[in-house]
């Protein structure tokens, strides 16, 4: 699907691959085409296209959840300037949640509030 | 809890039945196994554990496997060694080494996590398993998959140490070398796991896999006579192990097997890949990814999955994190071998060098009971010591020649001690 909100002059088109974890909220869509010029625009477009995803994508403060990583081609977008990186035509954008396995365990075992989970 | 263990989201708390799943579908945060401690209260006792097998499976009641599971491979139950000579060199007086350089079957602590992960791979019906790996995990998955009759695909960075590649291929595993670093490999595996019905031990099986690390903590406590140390120094790659040792200690406290005590956790990284140590030192609540450049390739994860949790674990416990240079890593490998007879891989060099610095900087007091976690074997990274030792000329098999050789050695020693080294 194409977005109309992007650059006037050029037709930047990027391919966006969504993880399985999103599919419950995207009616099974795993891949979209986007004309977003950068990451904030892309996130807005994803949220507009899939309203069911919006509340899950951001935390209570409205920030994109920290376990969601974005990659452009083979590079972590944080190495490319993050929000400032201007997508180039043909870029492939991967959305991948972190897979972590550790724990702090204190809430579960002592029942107290703590800052570590 | 319907079963003795289940999955739970670490951020929003949503509960899931046991499945090959590692990400919450509500908030996209990591899932974790939680064991029903109340259910384990009657079976997880000092007496019952003492009658269990001489392996990590003596703690089976707090591992995510069915009660009647019979483990085919006796991983874990490695020595906890008093280390007086290393202690003397670094200004410590109560130092122990948890030596997973001799963990079976493949000589690293990864044998523990793989044992639990592959048990669950079988329960979930996978016939093919895999992993992304910096080497030790590759060896462990390949070996244990062979023993269980599972096919395995192992994904590694193309520049991995030759010994770790050989030690994977020998088990008949399909080794896929990826033109990139571990973070590239890991990301690709996330995509493959989304597409193929394979059990990736550190992707879709990761919550189960990670629980295996608890056994390091259980063993330390039991081997210290059911007490907790003052400090633990742990190498950090993805950051999971340090958090799981802490979880193990908390479970033991909750079940009354040890006295309540706040153990301080110290993390060790190589300077060339130190995202977690950097976060601890700067007080950051997030991890800035790095591009790894270090000989400690088993720790070279620039975007550590559990980095945030490891940072909090260290901070909450009152510990600290340090990072050391490649030169320090090699020196520490030699120092540990010379002082305690333990040949560790580069990750163990990192941990040993960091420990020395923690004492030198006064972050650990000399008399505190401190355990260093050595997690892998030096035979796998001998290239790190390339050029460190000369091969001397062969001595003829005659006593007179040997005596001449000894004299030359003594002369050389005198010259060295006199401040002049002549070669």
Over residues B391-415, the mean pLDDT reads 91
Higher pLDDT, B213 or B11: B213
Do the chains contact at A65 and B28, CB–CB below 8 Å?
A: yes
> What mean pLDDT, rounded, does chain A reach?
80
Partners of B250 on chain A (C-beta within 8 Å) are 105-106, 109-110
Q: At what angle do helices B110-123 and B136-148 cross, to 10 degrees?
A: 40
Over residues B214-232, the mean pLDDT reads 98
The DSSP call for residue B178 is: E
pLDDT at A106: 41
pLDDT at B365: 97
Q: Touching check for B58 and chain A: CB below 8 Å?
A: no
Confidence class of residue B417 from pLDDT cuts 50, 70 and 90? low
Residue B176 has pLDDT above 50, yes or no: yes
Structure tokens at A12: 């930047």
* Cα gap B186→B277, rounded to integer Å: 21
* Min Cα–Cα distance to chain B from A68, Å: 7
pLDDT for B147-172, tens place per residue? 999 999 999 999 888 888 999 999 99
Q: Say which of A21, A74, A108 has its CB closest to residue B23.
A: A21
Cis, bond preceding B412 (omega within 30 deg of 0) = no
pLDDT at A114: 37
ipTM of the modeled complex: 0.77
pLDDT at B418: 61
Q: Say which of A67, A101, A109 has its CB closest to residue B28.
A: A67
Higher pLDDT, B145 or B415: B145
* Min Cα–Cα distance to chain B from A115, Å: 8
The torsion angles phi and psi of B208, rounded to 5 degrees, stand at -75, -45
- Residue to mutate among A78, A100, A109, A114, with most B CBs inside 10 A, is A100
The least confident of A9-23, B31-45, B85-99, B286-300 is A9-23
Q: Touching check for B203 and chain A: CB below 8 Å?
A: yes
Structure tokens at B293: 């450049």
Closest by CA position to A41, among listed A25, A65, A64, A23: A64
Confidence class of residue B321 from pLDDT cuts 50, 70 and 90? very high
Residue in chain A lying closest to B11 (CA): A117
pLDDT at B422: 46
* Cα gap A50→B229, rounded to integer Å: 51
Do the chains contact at B202 and A57, CB–CB below 8 Å?
A: no
- Residues in contact with B318: Cβ distance below 8 Å, sequence separation at least 6, in sequence order: B262, B264
pLDDT at B331: 97
What's the whole-model pTM score? 0.91
Confidence class of residue A111 from pLDDT cuts 50, 70 and 90? very low
Residue A101 has pLDDT above 70, yes or no: no
Do the chains contact at A19 and B190, CB–CB below 8 Å?
A: yes
Interface of A with B in 13-42 (CB under 8 A): 17, 19-22, 24-25
Helix ranges (DSSP H) in B68-170: 84-90, 110-123, 136-148, 162-169
How far are the Cα atoms of B59, B144, B299, B386 from residue B275, in angstroms, in the given order? Answer: 32, 31, 11, 28
Q: Touching check for A71 and chain B: CB below 8 Å?
A: yes
Do the chains contact at A116 and B11, CB–CB below 8 Å?
A: no
pLDDT for B328-342, tens place per residue? 999 999 999 999 999
Q: Which helix (H) or strand (E) holds B34?
A: strand B31-35
pLDDT at B420: 52
Partners of B30 on chain A (C-beta within 8 Å) are 67, 98-101
Q: Say which of B209, B239, B250 has its CB closest to residue A109.
A: B250
Do the chains contact at B184 and A108, CB–CB below 8 Å?
A: no
Q: Touching check for A68 and chain B: CB below 8 Å?
A: yes
Interface of B with A in 25-54 (CB under 8 A): 25-30, 32, 34, 37
Q: Touching check for B164 and chain A: CB below 8 Å?
A: no
Enumerate the β-bridge partners of residue B318.
Answer: none
pLDDT at A60: 82
Give burial (CB, 10 Å; 0-12/13-18/19+) of B368.
middle
CATH number of A14-110: 3.10.20.30
Residue B209 has pLDDT above 90, yes or no: yes
Partners of B210 on chain A (C-beta within 8 Å) are 101-103
Confidence class of residue A7 from pLDDT cuts 50, 70 and 90? very low
Residue B192 has pLDDT above 90, yes or no: yes
Q: Say which of A57, A65, A76 has its CB closest to residue B303.
A: A76
* Min Cα–Cα distance to chain A from B42, Å: 17
The least confident of B309-313, B366-370, B371-375, B418-422 is B418-422
pLDDT for A23-71, tens place per residue? 989 999 999 999 999 999 999 999 999 998 988 888 888 888 878 889 9
């Amino acid at each position: 699907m194409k977005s109309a909100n992007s650059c006037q002059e050029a037709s930047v088109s990027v391919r966006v691959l969504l993880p399985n974890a999103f599919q419950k909220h995207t009616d099974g869509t795993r891949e979209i085409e986007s004309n977003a010029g950068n990451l904030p625009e892309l996130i807005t477009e994803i949220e507009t296209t899939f309203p069911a995803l919006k509340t899950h994508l951001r935390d209570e403060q409205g920030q994109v959840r920290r376990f969601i990583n974005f990659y452009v081609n083979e590079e972590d977008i944080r190495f490319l300037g993050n929000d400032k990186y201007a997508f180039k035509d043909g870029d492939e954008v991967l959305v991948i949640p972190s897979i972590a396995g550790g724990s702090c365990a204190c809430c579960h075992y002592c029942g107290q509030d703590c800052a570590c989970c | 809890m319907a079963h003795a263990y289940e999955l739970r989201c670490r951020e929003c708390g949503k509960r899931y039945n046991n499945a090959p799943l590692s990400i919450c579908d509500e908030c996209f945060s990591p899932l974790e196994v939680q064991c029903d401690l109340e259910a384990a209260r009657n079976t997880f006792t000092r007496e019952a554990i003492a009658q269990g097998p001489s392996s990590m499976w003596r703690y089976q009641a707090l591992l995510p496997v069915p009660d009647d599971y019979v483990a085919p491979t006796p991983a874990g139950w490695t020595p906890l060694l008093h280390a007086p000579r290393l202690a003397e060199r670094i200004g410590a007086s109560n130092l122990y080494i948890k030596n997973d350089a001799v963990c079976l079957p493949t000589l690293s602590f990864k044998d523990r996590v793989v044992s639990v992960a592959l048990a669950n791979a079988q329960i979930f019906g996978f016939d093919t398993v895999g992993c992304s790996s910096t080497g030790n995990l590759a060896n462990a998955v390949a070996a244990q998959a062979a023993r269980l009759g599972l096919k395995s695909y192992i994904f590694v960075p193309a520049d991995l140490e030759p010994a770790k590649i050989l030690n994977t291929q020998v088990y008949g595993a399909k080794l896929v070398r990826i033109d990139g670093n571990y973070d590239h490999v890991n990301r690709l595996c996330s995509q493959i796991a989304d597409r193929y019905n394979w059990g990736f031990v550190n992707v879709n099986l990761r919550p189960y896999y990670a629980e295996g690390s608890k056994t390091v903590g259980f063993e330390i406590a039991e081997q210290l006579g059911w007490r907790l140390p003052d400090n633990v120094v742990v190498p950090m790659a993805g950051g999971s192990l340090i958090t799981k040792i802490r979880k193990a200690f908390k479970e033991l406290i909750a079940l009354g097997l040890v006295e309540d005590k706040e153990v301080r956790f110290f993390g060790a990284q190589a300077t060339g890949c130190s995202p977690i140590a950097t976060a601890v030192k700067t007080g950051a609540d997030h991890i800035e990814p790095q591009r790894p450049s270090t000989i400690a390739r088993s720790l070279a994860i620039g975007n550590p999955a559990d980095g945030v949790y490891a940072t909090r674990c260290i901070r909450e416990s009152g510990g600290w994190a340090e990072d050391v240079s490649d030169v320090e890593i090699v020196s520490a490998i030699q120092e540990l071998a010379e002082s305690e007879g333990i040949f560790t891989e580069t990750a163990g060099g990192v941990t040993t060098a960091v420990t020395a610095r923690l004492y030198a900087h006064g972050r650990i007091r000399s008399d505190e009971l401190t355990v260093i976690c050595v997690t892998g074997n030096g035979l796998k990274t001998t290239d790190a010591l390339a050029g460190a030792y000369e091969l001397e000329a062969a001595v003829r098999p005659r006593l007179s020649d040997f005596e001449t050789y000894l004299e030359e050695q003594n002369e050389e020693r005198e010259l060295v001690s006199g401040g002049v080294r002549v070669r």
